[in-house]
Amino acid sequence: MKCQYCQSRVRPTDITCPQCGSTLPVEEPVPILAGQRIDYNMTETSSSAFAIGSQKFDSFLPVTWPIGTQIAYIPTHAEGDIRHPDVEFGFTTSLLRDDGTIFCRYWRKGHIGELRTTANSENTRAYLLTVFHSIDDRIVDGLLEELGYA
């Protein structure tokens, strides 16, 4: 996501641009608990929130996430635990698709900042993702530009 005035990178949670100080437009996201399963036919939902220590993590429907949003993929067997060894970190390379998925790039296990694959993005169910900053946004911006997304 970029500031409409100075084009610097801003996070989806920023209210003002950290570079130029301009007020950013605000979309009203629909809050859900991280790890909540969303039935896109709106017939059934179940939730599994997660926490690290006393800090609870909330997420938003990914329709509000721009390309380049840093994410954590929390598989269903992790039951919402972001500390589970199978959790993977990365960033989005597409917006939410009609089938409830988002394309993402993931870091190699134990090597944050090093892409697992440079050939393609991976299609991921959106309800298994939550916003999680694992690395400096400038690194993600550089990779997005290098890979042709920016």
d(CA 115, CA 105): 7
The number of domains in the chain is 1
49 part of a folded domain: yes
Of 91 and 58, which is predicted with more confidence? 91
122 part of a folded domain: yes
52 part of a folded domain: yes
63 part of a folded domain: yes
130 part of a folded domain: yes
Q: What percent of the chain has pLDDT over 70?
A: 68
| Residue 90 pLDDT grade (very low, low, confident, very high; cuts 50, 70, 90) | very high
Residue 38 belongs to what domain range? 31-146
92 part of a folded domain: yes
The pLDDT value recorded for residue 63 is 53
